[in-house]
Structure 1
Amino acid sequence: MRESDSLKKAAQILRSYRIEPYFVEVLGNVQKVYSKNGVYALKKINPQHGMDFIRHVQTLYQKGYNRIVPIYPTLDGRYAVLYENTLYYLMPWLSKEEKRDPFESQQQLFRELARLHSISAREIKVNQEERTIHYEKTKAELEQEEEFLDEYLEACERKIYMSPFELMFCMYYHTVKQALFFSKQKLTEWYEGTKEKEKARIVIVHGKMARDHFLFDEKGYGYFINFEEANIGSPTHDLLPFLARSLKGYLKQPDELVDSLYMYFKYFPLKEDEMQLFFSYLAHPGNLIKTAQRFFQEGKNRNERKAVQKLQREYWYLKNTEYIVFRIDEIEKQKKQEEAAQQNQ
């Protein structure tokens, strides 16, 4: 779209706010709007998600949560404008501050996420039959993965000469099997501890939590942006995708992530059943198993070099998640021992 067309289109939308733009910079789904009133961000979203997005934002505003980048209402009180079958909303333009300490920024991000979850938390009734069906289905999937691991290991070991991928798979097998066992164990603990419970806790989840989606104003206050995929769910629906993105790459000991998680737990502790499910999903070596299954199924059409690289990356991710899981598990066990010791005094 030409620059003049973008300006005309933005001007049509911004009439609802009585703002006259004199320049518009198009940055993907966001338009940086320059006007005599100031600099704004005009963002478009899918109308299918728009009503849920607006409802969740209004709910948080009503509950006193104001750490979402303010969404300006139109002159007639709407939070979005429908134009050419697309919804647009307006907010102030916040610049990313590169000088901030990354760890401190992440700590503030997790603290605000905990506040968001705490303010919006409520309990809902859970259908016990649906919970059992979910458990049985997930358990069956884990058992199928376990069966594949064992059978593929045997097939590799029967060969006189293994391919590089098969040799690497055999080297990783024990670690993958342990992770799968731990994941299944925590899933079972979750089910056994909740099958008699009639309620579960839900929150408003951001839906797209990332470091780039938490910006700071000139006073140092942090605000969430990209709230369009907000929905209702377990608090772990924000934590797990963030960890999945953060733990990719070379082997590391992500102690800063553990510290940030405990910043979150300080303000919004996970319940025991939530922690069990969190462990089960985080420890699950699903991507590595899928990589092995894909290699096995592709046969002669496979690219071994790329498959080996992919397997190695998934192993690094598995070792990083393993560190997080066992570090948290260790801390939680220590806390329980200290609580028991205090009770016995």
Structure 2
Amino acid sequence: MEWSNIIEAYQLQPEEIEQVTERVFKIKANSQQYALKRSRLYPDDLGRWQAIQQFIQQKQILGFVPLYYAENNQLFVQDQEHIYYLMPWVEQDYTDQPIDEYATAIHAVGRLHAATMDYHQIAPMKQNKTTIEQQFQQELSTYRDQMLKYVRYFEAKRFMSPYELQVCMYYRDIEHTFNQLERWQEIYLDVMDETEKMKYTLCHGNIRPSHYVVTQTNTYFLNWEDAFMTSPTYDLAAYYQYLFQFHDCDIGKVIDSFSIYCRYIDLSDYEKALLALQLLSPSKWIQEVSSSMQSSRNKNTVNSSIKIEQEYRRLLFGFQLQEFIYKTLKSEQFEDAY
């Protein structure tokens, strides 16, 4: 890294430079503190990223840490293959009173989505309903066939590795997930006919504890590199699936946080069905099982076992959350049918 090029571009006179993470540097200069981020952006991403930055500033969104302009009037500095940006350093508040991080984060997500909400007509999707239904059926059939193939292959062995045993032990739960996924596919297609438009918001794209800072006055989101306009369910699914990989995930608090979110954004049955489909998608599970089979040839079975467990938790907790989501459906045809 050529520090001189980057520092000069922002006209800073650093007193101290501290590497905080692999990509974040804390700079003390001009009696202030700054955060310098070596981003994961590529040149082709810059147009979208800068448009999002301008949109956020125009909307005056709370929880956004503004970026500094470099001397060339750009929001970034490119040093060889890396792209950097600079912003004020925001210090996490530490108090004796514990905070509920799930609720705190979801309040911030709700405010973000409410401040940027628009609507998107779904008429084109209705026109392709038959194609979508066929895709659903094909995907689910493929998932079931792949899962059964893996289980039969593992069970035919005299001795199974730990991750192979896990896959076989979890097969019944995965099959329940398939069944519920099929049910939500039917709900999604049914409520599509009753829906004219869906919500469309700015989504952060990668919400996790390392990407927000809680202060006494606000919750600030960091790292907007993956932000884009889409259904608000994208942020919810991504955030929850991140939490679900950990064994100590408090599903009760997750369910409470979903109720909190719905105070900001009144999700339609169509959007709830879309969220449930995202939570129950077994694609990452199938990919991890397949990847573990390749890794086992390199004898890396411990790492495979850990990843299999993480993907299983995502589906297990996702299954529990979708049970609650089902109970919140508004259409009378779904009452007491669970």
TM band (smaller chain): 0.7 to 0.9
Equivalence for 1:192:
190
Q: In the superposition, relative to structure 1, how do residues 284 and 228 fare at CA in structure 2: closer, same or farther (>3 Å)?
A: closer
Post-superposition CA distance 1:291-344 (Å, at most 9, x none): 45556x7699485954555544443443222222223334x26x878xx9xxxx
Residue 11 of structure 1: which of 2, 7, 14 is its match? Answer: 7
Matched residues in 2 for 1:94 and 1:299: separation? 41
Matched residues in 2 for 1:101 and 1:133: separation? 53
The structural deviation recorded for 1:230 is: 0.8
Matched residues in 1 for 2:113 and 2:63: separation? 12
Matched residues in 1 for 2:276 and 2:186: separation? 11
Residue 267 of structure 1: which of 261, 264, 268 is its match? Answer: 264
Q: Is the 8 A contact 2:9 2:71 kept in 1?
A: no
Asked if residue 80 in structure 1 is aligned to residue 110 in structure 2, the reply is no
Post-superposition CA distance 1:146-171 (Å, at most 9, x none): 233445556677x5967466665444
Give % identity.
Answer: 21
Q: Is the 8 A contact 2:6 2:77 kept in 1?
A: no
Q: In the superposition, relative to structure 1, how do residues 274 and 168 fare at CA in structure 2: closer, same or farther (>3 Å)?
A: same
Equivalence for 1:147:
145
Q: What one-letter code is carried by the residue in structure 2 that aligns with 1:106? A: Y
Q: Is the 8 A contact 1:124 1:201 kept in 2?
A: yes
Matched residues in 2 for 1:240 and 1:103: separation? 22
Matched residues in 1 for 2:96 and 2:149: separation? 50
Equivalence for 1:343:
none
Q: In the superposition, relative to structure 1, how do residues 186 and 68 fare at CA in structure 2: closer, same or farther (>3 Å)?
A: same
Asked if residue 324 in structure 1 is aligned to residue 321 in structure 2, the reply is yes
| TM-score of the pair, normalised by structure 1 | 0.78
Matched residues in 1 for 2:16 and 2:132: separation? 52
3-state secondary structure, aligned to 1:144: helix
Equivalence for 1:209:
207
Q: Is the 8 A contact 2:103 2:257 kept in 1?
A: yes
Unaligned runs of 5+ in 1: 341-345
Residue 37 of structure 2: which of 43, 51, 73 is its match? Answer: 43
Residue 25 of structure 1: which of 18, 24, 36 is its match? Answer: 18
| TM-score of the pair, normalised by structure 2 | 0.80
The structural deviation recorded for 1:281 is: 1.9
Q: Report matched runs for 1:106-125 at 5 Å.
A: 106-125=102-121
Matched residues in 1 for 2:153 and 2:83: separation? 54
Q: Report matched runs for 1:1-345 at 5 Å.
A: 1=1, 5-6=2-3, 8-15=4-11, 19-27=12-20, 28-45=22-39, 46=41, 47-73=43-69, 78=73, 80-84=75-79, 87-99=83-95, 103-126=99-122, 127-128=124-125, 129=127, 132-150=130-148, 163=160, 168-194=166-192, 197=195, 199-217=197-215, 219-250=216-247, 253-293=250-290, 301=297, 303=299, 305-306=301-302, 310-330=307-327, 332=328
Matched residues in 1 for 2:181 and 2:204: separation? 25
Matched residues in 2 for 1:75 and 1:236: separation? 38
3-state secondary structure, aligned to 1:227: coil
The structural deviation recorded for 1:226 is: 0.6
Matched residues in 1 for 2:84 and 2:164: separation? 51
Matched residues in 2 for 1:38 and 1:138: separation? 54
Higher radius of gyration, 1 or 2: 1
Q: What one-letter code is carried by the residue in structure 2 that aligns with 1:216? A: V
3-state secondary structure, aligned to 2:100: helix
Q: Is the 8 A contact 2:18 2:27 kept in 1?
A: yes
Q: What one-letter code is carried by the residue in structure 2 that aligns with 1:188? A: E
The structural deviation recorded for 1:93 is: 0.5
Q: Which structure has more helix as a fraction of its residues? A: 1
Q: In the superposition, relative to structure 1, how do residues 14 and 278 fare at CA in structure 2: closer, same or farther (>3 Å)?
A: same
The structural deviation recorded for 1:247 is: 0.9
User: What is the count of residue pairs matched by the alignment?
Assistant: 325
Matched residues in 2 for 1:21 and 1:167: separation? 55
Q: Is the 8 A contact 1:183 1:281 kept in 2?
A: no
Matched residues in 2 for 1:135 and 1:30: separation? 45
Post-superposition CA distance 1:224-267 (Å, at most 9, x none): 11112111111121111211121113376521111122211111
3-state secondary structure, aligned to 2:119: strand
